[in-house]
Structure 1
Amino acid sequence: MINNPDQFNQNIETNEEAPYFIENFDKQLELYKFKNVKQSRNITYQYFKRSKLIIDQRYVLKEEISYSSYEYKCKAYDNKSHQDVQINYYFFYSQYQLKEILKAIEIQKFLNHENIEKIYNFNFTSYPEINEMYVVSDFMQTSLNYIIQSEQQLTEDHIKYFMYQILRALHYIHSAKIVFVQLEPKLIKINSDCSIKISDFIWCIGNQNQEIETNYVNQYYYMSPEYIVEQMGTEKSDIWSAGCIFAELISRRKLFTGYEYPQAITQILKFCGKQNEEDLKYYKIINRERLLKSMPKEKQISSLQAYFPNANPLALDLLGKMLTFNLDKRFNALECLQHEYLADLYDPQEEFTCDQEFDWSFLDQKLTEKEIIMRLYKNQLFFQEN
C-alpha cells in the first residue's frame, strides 16, 4: 500500500527508480506511458466509515453500499462528470482474483447496452505490490434482490418491464458469445424509474463452454441443472437463471432453495418432473444414470398454476419455456422476447445485437501474474485516454 502518496508521485516524476515490475514485461508498454498514468492521478486518502481508501480527488465518497473482506462498494460524486457513480474498491489475495477482475473489465469495456453496467474508470492504488484497485461504474439506487425482499408492491407491469429489460440485455450479451453464468437478483441493479442494469461480469465464460471455476460457488438457487451437474454453462443456462428470477418476482420467494448439490438437483427434478434419456443427452453417462435413478415417477409433480395460483397464464407459459430441463427445448433470449407475454414491450426495431464477438483468446494464454497486471495497465490507459 502507498504510505506516502506525495513521495510516490515525486519518485515517478523525477524517475529516481523505475517500478520493478516494468523491467520484465517485454517492453509491452513504454515507460513514459506508465509515468503519464501515474502523474494523471491526484490520489488522496479518504477515510470513510470503516475503511481508509486511496481515491482520486475528483471523487467524493458519500455512502457505503456493501463491504466484504475483498471488496468495498460505495456511492460517490464525480466532480468532473457531475454525476453520482459507484466505486468498487478491491483487495487482492491471489492471481485468480486479478484474472477475474481483468476479465470483467475487458467484457464491460467491450459491451455497450443501456441495460448493462458501464465502467468509466479504474486505478491501481497500491505500490509496489499490486493488491488494491478501484473501479468506477454506473450508480444505481438499489438491487432487484432488495425490491423482491421489501414490501414494495409489484404490479404485473413492473414484473413484465423488469423481465423485458433482463432478457434484452441477455440477448445482447449472448450475441457477443458471452455467458453470464451466475445471474441473480443482487447483480441486477435498479433505479426508481424501474430501469435496470446487469452488473458484475466476473463469472462470465465464452459460449464454447470454457472451464468454470466452481470454488467460489456457494449456492445454487439460480443455477441451471446442467451447471449444477456438469459445470456446463451455455446461453440457455442464463435463461434458466432468468426464469428463476421471474418466478421469484411473481411469488416474492425463491423457487429453489437447495444450498448444496443434492438438495438443489432434487428440487429441480421435483419441479420439472420425470425426464427421459433424450432430455439428458448433454450429460455424461455416469451423471445421466444418477439423474435417472433420482427421477420422480410423475411426468410433472404439479402444474405451474399450482405453484403460482394468482399468476397471469401468459406469464406462466413463458416461465415454463424458460425453466425447461431439456436444453434443446428451453427458449433462448430472443424467443423469450418474442413471447406473447411481452408483446406490448417488444419491438424488433429497438432490439440490437453486438456487432462482433468478444475475443476470449487472452484467457487461453495461461497468463502469468505480471502479464495480467500489464493487461490491466493497458486497460487503465484506455479509460484515461477516453
Structure 2
Amino acid sequence: MIKDPDQFNQNTETDEEAPYFIENFDIQKELDKYKYVKQSRNLAYQYLSENKLIIDQRYDLKKQTNDYNASYKCKAYDNKSHQDVFIYYYITFAQYDIYYLKQILKAIEIQKFLNHENIEKIYNFDIISYPEINKMYVVSDFMQTNLSFITQSQQQLTDEHIQFFMYQILRALHYIHSAKIVFGFLLPRFIQINSDCSIKISEFTSCVGNQNQKIRSYIHKNYYMSPEYIVEKIITEKSDIWSAGCIFAELINRVKLFSGHDDFTAITQILQFCGEQNEEDLKFYKQINREKLSTLMPKEEQISLQVRFPNANPLALDLLGKMLTFNLEKRFNALECLQHEYLADLYDPQSELICDQEFDWSFLDQQLTKEEIIMRLYKNQLFFQQN
C-alpha cells in the first residue's frame, strides 16, 4: 500500500482546504439563448483561494492542484453523487487559438468514447457563457496523486509495486491502441494514482490516430519522447511504449532516464543508452536524418541494463530492454509487453479488455471554424446533461 499521498506531494500548498463561499447568481436567461443548453443548472459563484469561479452548486470547490493545461484544476465534492471529483476549469475561449480548442474537444470526445478502469472517466462537462465571459469545466475521477510525485518522493517502492504499476499502464495502453488511438505524450504526471496503487491515465489532448501522424507538442521537455518523434516528429503506438519504458526506468531508479532539454541532447543520450544502430535500425528515418544519426553513434561500448540498474529484477530489465528498443519494428507493442514473463502473475488474457470499435477521427479532419468547434463543445455539454 502507498502511504498518504499528502506526505510526498511536492507542491507548496498546505493540506488545509481552501475556503470557499457561495453567493447566489442567476444567469439562466442569458444561457437560454444557446440552443444546445436545454437544462437549467443551479449556477453560483464560488471562491477557490482568491479566484472567483462560476460553477454548478452541486460541486463544492475544495483545494486547488497543479495542472499545466487547465486554467485551474481542483478537488471538489459532488453533492449529488456524494463523492470527491476533480474539476478542470478553463477560462475564456478567446484566450485559446483554434488548435487548442480542438485539443479540448478531442480529449472530451475520446474520454467519452473510452471505457476502461485504468482510464480517467469524465462525469460532466459544462460551459458557462454569458456576455463577454466564456468558461467551461470538466468533472472527472478524483485521484489522490500522480506518478510524478511518487517518483520524486521518499516513498519506498518494491518490485511488486513497480510490477503492478506497469501492468495497469500497459493494459490501459493496450485498450487505447485497440481503439486506434495513440496517446502521444505519456508523462508520469498524466498517470493518476490512489493509495491502493490503482492507476488511471488522464490528459488526452495529445492523442492522434493509429498511424504515422505529425502533431504539435505543447510539452517542452524531451525526457519521455521517442527517438522517432524527436527526429521525425512522428507518433505511433510504439512511441507510447517508449514513453512507458522511460517511466518504467524512472520507477526502478527514481531518476529520469533521459534529461535532454533539446532535441540534440535528447537523441544523443538515447543513442548512448541504446548503443550503435545499423542501417536496418535507421530505415524509418529520412536520408538526411540517417546521416546525422550516424555521426552521433557512440564510440564506446554500450552499458548493459544490469550495470545501469544493479538492484533491479532481471525480468524487469528484460522487459525494459524490449520497450526501449530504438528500432520500431523490434520494439514490443502493448500486448507483447503484457505477455512478458515479468507480468505473468498479473496478466490474464481473459480479463484484458479491447475496444469493440475504432474511434472515429473524421471530425478532426474537417476544417472547422472556431465557432463550429464551440458548437460541438455545446453538443457535448448537452450529452452530459442528458446522461
Distance 1:288 1:89 in 2: 44
Q: Is the 8 A contact 1:124 1:130 kept in 2?
A: no
Q: 2:57 corresponds to which residue?
A: 57
Q: 2:316 corresponds to which residue?
A: 315
Structure 1 range deviating more: 374-383 or 155-164: 374-383
Q: 2:231 corresponds to which residue?
A: 229
Deviation at 1:12, TM superposition (A): 5.0
Distance 2:116 2:262 in 1: 34
Distance 2:343 2:209 in 1: 28
In structure 2, the residue corresponding to 1:335 is in which secondary structure? helix
Unpaired stretches in structure 1, ≥5 consecutive residues: 20-30
Which residue of the other structure, out of 84, 95, 99, is the alignment partner of 1:96? 99
Q: What is the count of residue pairs matched by the alignment?
A: 362
1:171 aligns with 2:190: no
Distance 1:247 1:312 in 2: 12
Q: Is the 8 A contact 2:37 2:378 kept in 1?
A: no
In structure 2, the residue corresponding to 1:383 is in which secondary structure? helix
In structure 2, the residue corresponding to 1:277 is in which secondary structure? coil
Distance 1:90 1:384 in 2: 18
Unpaired stretches in structure 2, ≥5 consecutive residues: 1-22
Distance 1:96 1:268 in 2: 30
Q: 1:132 corresponds to which residue?
A: 135
Distance 1:130 1:288 in 2: 50
Q: 2:164 corresponds to which residue?
A: 161
In structure 2, the residue corresponding to 1:288 is in which secondary structure? helix
> Which amino acid letter does the alignment assign opposite residue 263 of structure 2?
Y
Deviation at 1:204, TM superposition (A): 0.6
Alpha carbons of 1:151 and 1:286: their partners in 2 closer, same or farther (altered >3 Å)? same
Distance 1:249 1:11 in 2: 50
Q: TM-score, normalised by structure 2?
A: 0.90
1:251 aligns with 2:270: no
Distance 1:292 1:340 in 2: 34
In structure 2, the residue corresponding to 1:219 is in which secondary structure? coil
Deviation at 1:209, TM superposition (A): 2.3
Q: 2:372 corresponds to which residue?
A: 371
Q: CA RMSD in A?
A: 1.6
Distance 2:134 2:29 in 1: 21
Distance 2:132 2:359 in 1: 30
> Which amino acid letter does the alignment assign opposite residue 260 of structure 2?
G
Distance 2:226 2:30 in 1: 52
Q: 2:6 corresponds to which residue?
A: none
Deviation at 1:10, TM superposition (A): 2.9
Distance 1:287 1:173 in 2: 30
1:334 aligns with 2:335: yes
In structure 1, the residue corresponding to 2:280 is in which secondary structure? helix
Deviation at 1:297, TM superposition (A): 2.9
Q: 2:29 corresponds to which residue?
A: 10
Distance 1:69 1:137 in 2: 15
| Sequence identity percentage | 72
Q: 1:346 corresponds to which residue?
A: 347
Q: Is the 8 A contact 2:46 2:53 kept in 1?
A: yes
Q: TM-score, normalised by structure 1?
A: 0.91
Q: Is the 8 A contact 2:26 2:43 kept in 1?
A: no
> Which amino acid letter does the alignment assign opposite residue 315 of structure 1?
A
1:303 aligns with 2:322: no
